[in-house]
A and B are shown apart, each in its own frame.
Chain A
Amino acid sequence: MSTETLSAADILGHGFYPERLEKREPLLDRWLRRPALWLERGIGKGSTRFERLVRDVEAVQPEYDAMDLAQLRTAAQALRPALKRDGFTPSLIARAFALIRTVAGLTVGKRHYDVQLAGGWVLLHGRVAEMETGEGKTLTATLAAGTAALAGIPVHVVTVNDYLAARDAEEMRPVYEALGLSVGIVTHEVKPDDRGVEYRKDITYATNKDVTFDYLRDRMKLKGRPRPLRYALNKVTGGAEAELTLRGLHFAIVDEVDSVLVDEARTPLILSAERSDGGLERLYREALELARQLVEGTDFVIERHDTSIRITDDGKKRLETLARGKRGVWTGPNRREQLIRQALTGLLLFTRDKHYVVSDDHKVQIVDEYTGRIMADRSWEAGLHQMIEVKEGCPLTGQRETIARISYQRFFRRYLRLSGMTGTAAEIKRELWDVYRLKVTRVPTRKDILRRYALIEIHDTQDAKWDAVVRAVRREVDAGRPVLVGTRSVIASETLADRLAAAGIEHRLLNARQDKEEAEIVAQGGQPRRVTVATNMAGRGTDIKPTPEALAAGGLHVICTELHESGRVDRQLWGRCARQGDPGSVETIVSYEDELITRYASFARPIAGNGTALEKTTGPALFKLAQKRAEGVHALMRKEVLEMDDYLGDLLAFAGRPE
């Protein structure tokens, strides 16, 4: 193990509401630091680090294995002062890990494997542990979370959704409680007033969104950067309304770190308050009406790449004539065109059941493109949400007014110590380092992976693709295996469901609309001959356990029906099968009409998919190219968000720093 000894106090921070201060790194510094990334060694099975860690843990293991739960609890409490005093020395880490391992074995029946110890070590040292899907990240996190909590550090285990937060917390609660540590859960359902209690627990499981919003609210109460005196003064004078929710940003273990820190980093989180607005509905209605009269191609152009609308000069002229006689905003070309652009965006770029769903009580709800989950209380920016509400004939929610906003990129950098786990981090290594100063360390797998991959199958049309998917499902069902079919959107999942039904294949549908039954569907997904059709939400964290009978038939078979813009999301889906040494297989059936191709590689389509013998090579290459371009575009957007943050920070320096 490395000689670096972590002082617990470094992570505990000092004083009131500790957090890392933002420091801007000049470009040159960032570049000069990059080589540090190349020097990073792994913690592979043969490495000295790994060997020493395992040896140290094994050395003290018998001592703890001999104890019962009560003794273990005492031992854990006895370890706390040493951890607080000496920090995370190798011997103390070994003791804490051994202890937690024993406790986990006794309470939840899962002892940590050696590779999980390695994972725990990586997390404790503030890095990203890249662990193969299905290697038990939840259990791994307990090592780092437990050890840090024993040292008195408040730990946030951050997950991507409420379901995972609750599931992980409940699953591991016995372990922590046996150690004498308390566990808090913050999900969407927990009321703001009750959250403070949960955050004051030793270890808090929360979703990324909740913890960020809670932090933003705290900042609002603090009126800017935490200053104890001012806060106290405000409290005395009645300026601060309530107690702070968080205790500061100490240590976060982010599950699915690539999803949280990279994929979602683009959208800033906005704390908003509703504002009443009179007469806006009429305005939006007029805008939609006018927008519908414009012709695509002549009056406006859709920029496929960054999904924006550009009104052409012809369109501007046409608008001028259309708007003649109207009053108010319609008289000025700039405002008029902006409204129309927004209307067109709402009409054409946002599709029902793909980007959003309309709930039974007539509410427009945003669907997260990555996970397929409904994001209940999110709304699109200024006017767009209302425009879509008008488009769908829903009652207008009040326009929301921003109070504060922060991006994940900025938020997570404020943790004194940040670490993460994911199955897929290779592609974003550099970004994690540049943005978060996070190193990625690969953790070896316990057993060899038995996943089999079929060659990618490319069809010319969507229709042909779905037929092929149905055939493939039937083939696997006949073989007695459970099948998981991943689709990209809610619409796609429903299309497939219809086709499967027409073919007489029994299946369960798991998408944003059925998320209540998620746990139950997942639990049954491992039955033989069971077909589960799911949106991307069945990616991260979903643990479908094939029954022994299903395993005998070859394990779970995953069919990927559309490649995602990010290869990592695809790999997450593949990772649903062949977990922890089980058998399993992956099949990818796509078509040239998929959005990925039409948006990012349509220009190369005639070259690649021409039906010749070469297509075997060029077809898959085309998809690779499209994914690469898509990822490039997204990486750029993230970078822009960050730069915009910095730019605005400077520009708005006169306004102080509220968030």
Chain B
Amino acid sequence: MSDLHSPSWYRVAALRPRLKTHAEVHRHHYRGQLWYVLSDRASRRLYRFNPAAWQVIGLLDGERTVDDAWELACHRLGDDAPTQDETIRLLGQLHGADLLQTEVPPDVDELLRRSQKLNKGKWWRNVRNPMSIKLPLVDPDRLLKATVPLYRWLFTPAGFVLWALLIVAGLAVAAQHWTDLTENVADRILAPGNLLGMIVIFPLVKACHEFGHACAVRSKGGEVHEMGVMLLVFLPVPYVDASASSAFRSKWQRMVVGAAGMMVELALASLAMFVWALVEPGLVRAACFNVMLIAGISTVLFNGNPLLRYDGYYILADALEIPNLAQRAQRYLAYLVERRAFGVREAQAPDASVSEKAWFVFYAIASFVYRTSITFAIVLFIATQYFVIGVLLAIWAGFSSLVLPLAKGLWHLIAGKSLRRHRTRALAVAGSVFTAIAAFAFLAPFPLWTRTEGVLWVPEQAVLRAGAEGFVVGLAQAPGAVVPKGAVLMRLEDPLLAPMEKLEMARLEELRLKLRALEVGDRVQAQIVREEMQYTERELERIRERLAGLTVRSPIDGRFVVSNPGDLPQRFVRKGEQMGFVAPPHERLVRVIVAQDDVDFVRSRTERIEVKLAGRVAHTLPATLLREVPAASGELPSVALSERGGGTVALDPRVSDRAVAMEPLFHFELRLPEGAEGTHIGARAYVRFDHGSEPLATQAFRAARRLFLRRFSL
């Protein structure tokens, strides 16, 4: 609250200023309150005054002195009258806007300084924001004025209905062709040829958009004097100065102007939809697709989003009747920090109602978060496409959206004028907040883990394999029975083997007899028979081996497990085929795959391993790392881990017969404790390698580094 009287009053008291003639006044209502909007037709800027301030301005007619006007205002308004300081500031503001005319020759130094400052400000804005540089080109007002009859009807209720019909029809067509439209969108958008097409079409669509604004303004009687090109991320995008609409009295009219651009685009998208549906694939169709993409989707995502400073923001501000929503929101938040956190008691509370304040807080935070994240998303996107430009942009974006504001804040803390008497507290508060955040990020331990998938696995020697091919005759043991090592578990039958054995035995006998006969006489013949005998013996041995192989014995002590016991009898199995296994009572293994990024961590820093098995997810089993299966390979232990099998690993499409992943993977074997029985081998296991805890900052740094390395394939 400032004093009623100002020590500088004597400087202005005797002046007889008045408004310059080119200022226009409009009465507006914002949130039920009356405001006077002064528009400067020369500079196309607007100034808002509350009725009290307007009272004083209105009283300044070039005849009255400032002192008289102020006294009169005080008399009329009582406590609502502006203080002398406020009046001086008001006059200063009007002078700064070149709207004040006094009988005193103005201070030339100050005029010069101000214009220099203005120019410097413009220059700096471009330097600070190289992603959007404005180049004014033409004054379209005469064209627009001459063509008003052509488009005025569009901005009538009938025009709106027509527009709505067009959009609905477009949507209907889009719904019909939904699958065609959405198939492989990402590939189609980012294909080089299409990008080129987009670059050509984008400015054209945006030009229509801007003309939408311009026509809307002109149709309501506003003037449009500046049109040009803005280099948005080095891409030329047309823009139009539609600020005249702010002077419109009805907020609906202002909102229509704000929405006109998007409405034009949506209409374009609808038309493109029709054409797209009619023509054959080709250049025209591709162009239509792009128009739909730009006019339909980007306009909704960007222009329509009130959190960015595009059309949506202005529409929202008008709808809420809070002009300058973003700036005021920011200022209010700054005020809150100064007042509440830093204890700056003399901080001037921004003039705002409770609901406005709520909007400010919401808007300031939401838009900041959104804007920052979208900036970085865009930068990242560009960076992946063009490395050098991307990195430069990233540095610039990081600088302007993080470093610069932080530095500014810091500078304000150190040298800001408003904090002068509260610097100790401000520094203490900011310092402790910063310390708290830093401590949280750098000290507070956060669990760190690697999550991956694996399958339940048994040691090779526990697998029951057919020793020879044959038909399964039956199970000697019931599945699930505990069997000792060597116990017969299954029998196979090969009907040919027994006769073959008999045959070979008979042959052997024959040879033996033959040998006995020849042994004495023909030594040469005997030797031949002996060798033949040896051969036959070996043959017999092999047959016997195969016979033995028909009996499947338990290789270890354990529990006999067959996955589908009912299928087995009379099934033909090949030699070496897996038929079941004997689960060792104390050993259960999980074979997990680990991506290359994580392998080092899993190897060196695993403190604990937790496993959850599919089907028993509620149970967490501790596990121990048994061994690493050497060498990276893309081969998966089970199809279950691949995307095809419901897992997460993308398969290499070039290999069709096996499950081979796109990226190199590392295999590990984990040992599960007892209690994992009952699940079938090959079941999916969710594994978490617990690396203990690590502060967030280190984790974030590592993640960022990894992202960087991978994105830029360094």
Contacts and interface: CB of A to CB of B under 8 A. Distances in A.
A652 B17 CA distance: 12
Nearest to A404: B10
Interface string B399-434: 000000000000000000100110000000000000
A81 interface: no
Nearest to A339: B4
A337 to B, nearest CB: 7
Interface stretch (A8-16, A88-96, A642-650): A642-650
Contacts of A654: 15, 17, 91-92, 94-95, 100, 102, 104, 106-107
Contacts of A648: 8, 11
A652 B78 contact: no
A401 B106 contact: no
A655 B417 contact: no
A22 B113 CA distance: 13
Contact of A656 (B8, B100, B105, B417): B105
Given A331-B79, A338-B4, A653 B10 contact: no
B522 interface: no
Contacts of B114: 650, 653
A405 interface: yes
A334 B109 CA distance: 36
A636 B79 CA distance: 33
A474 B549 CA distance: 126
B3 interface: yes
A378 B109 CA distance: 33
Interface in A329-343: 331-335, 337-338
A328 to B, nearest CB: 10
Interface in B100-135: 100, 102, 104-107, 109-111, 113-114
Interface string B292-333: 000000000000000000000000000000000000000000
Interface SS of B by simple majority: helix
A611 interface: no
Contacts of B78: 331-332
- Contact size class for A? 35 or more
A381 B4 CA distance: 13
A335 B79 contact: yes
B41 interface: no
A652 B8 contact: yes
A653 B79 contact: no
A23 B547 CA distance: 112
A335 B4 contact: yes
Contacts of A381: 7
B104 A656 contact: yes
A333 B417 contact: no
Interface residues on B, range: 35 or more
Contacts of B10: 401-405
Interface in A619-659: 636, 640, 643, 648-658
Interface string B503-536: 0000000000000000000000000000000000
Interface string B1-19: 1011101111110010100
B106 A643 contact: no
A402 B107 CA distance: 21
A334 B89 contact: no
Given A652-B88, A654-B17, A333 B111 contact: no
A282 interface: no
Nearest to B117: A650
Nearest to B10: A402
B79 A655 contact: no
A651 B79 contact: no
B345 interface: yes
B482 to A, nearest CB: 79
Interface string A366-389: 000000000000000111000000
A656 B88 CA distance: 13
A650 B420 contact: no
Interface string A318-362: 000000000000011111011000000000000000000000000
Contacts of B107: 649, 653-654, 656-657
Interface centre among B9, B92, B106 (most CB of A within 10 A): B92
Nearest to A647: B92
Given A335-B79, A401-B10, A651 B105 contact: no
Contacts of B79: 331-335
A216 to B, nearest CB: 12
Interface string A256-271: 0000000000001010
A381 B3 CA distance: 12
Contact of A405 (B7, B92, B109, B111): B7
A179 B111 CA distance: 49
B452 interface: no
B110 A649 contact: yes
A191 interface: no
Contacts of B4: 334-335, 338
A650 B12 CA distance: 13
Given A382-B5, A402-B10, A643-B417, A656 B113 contact: no
Nearest to A310: B345
B83 interface: yes
A402 B7 contact: yes
A636 B420 contact: yes
A408 to B, nearest CB: 16
B95 A653 contact: yes
A24 B113 contact: yes
Contact of A655 (B12, B89, B94): B12
A24 B116 CA distance: 14
A338 B7 CA distance: 15
Contact of B102 (A332, A643, A655): A655
A643 B5 CA distance: 20
A498 interface: no
A170 interface: no
Nearest to A270: B7
A318 B612 CA distance: 70
Contacts of B1: 334, 337-338
Contacts of A337: 1
Contacts of B109: 22
A306 interface: yes
Nearest to A402: B10
Interface string B246-278: 000000000000000000000000000000000
A52 B646 CA distance: 96
A63 B3 CA distance: 67
Q: Which of B8, B107, B111, B417 has the most CB of A within 10 A?
A: B107
A651 B89 contact: yes
A179 to B, nearest CB: 41
A654 B87 CA distance: 13
Contacts of B94: 654
A640 B8 CA distance: 15
Nearest to B100: A654
Interface string A261-300: 0000000101000000000000000000000000000000
A648 to B, nearest CB: 5
Given A402-B10, A654-B106, A338 B92 contact: no
Contacts of A652: 8, 11-12, 88, 92
Interface of A: 22, 24, 268, 270, 305-306, 310, 331-335, 337-338, 381-383, 401-405, 636, 640, 643, 648-658
Given A331-B79, A651-B92, A655-B11, 20 more contacts: A22-B109, A331-B78, A332-B79, A334-B83, A337-B1, A338-B4, A383-B5, A401-B10, A403-B10, A640-B420, A643-B417, A649-B107, A650-B92, A652-B88, A653-B107, A653-B114, A654-B91, A654-B95, A656-B104, A656-B105
Interface of B: 1, 3-5, 7-12, 15, 17, 78-79, 83, 88-89, 91-92, 94-95, 100, 102, 104-107, 109-111, 113-114, 345, 417, 420-421
13 contacts: A24-B113, A306-B421, A333-B79, A338-B1, A338-B3, A640-B417, A652-B11, A652-B92, A653-B106, A653-B110, A653-B114, A655-B12, A657-B107
Top 7 nearest A-B pairs by Cβ distance? A332-B79, A653-B110, A651-B92, A654-B95, A656-B104, A402-B10, A653-B107
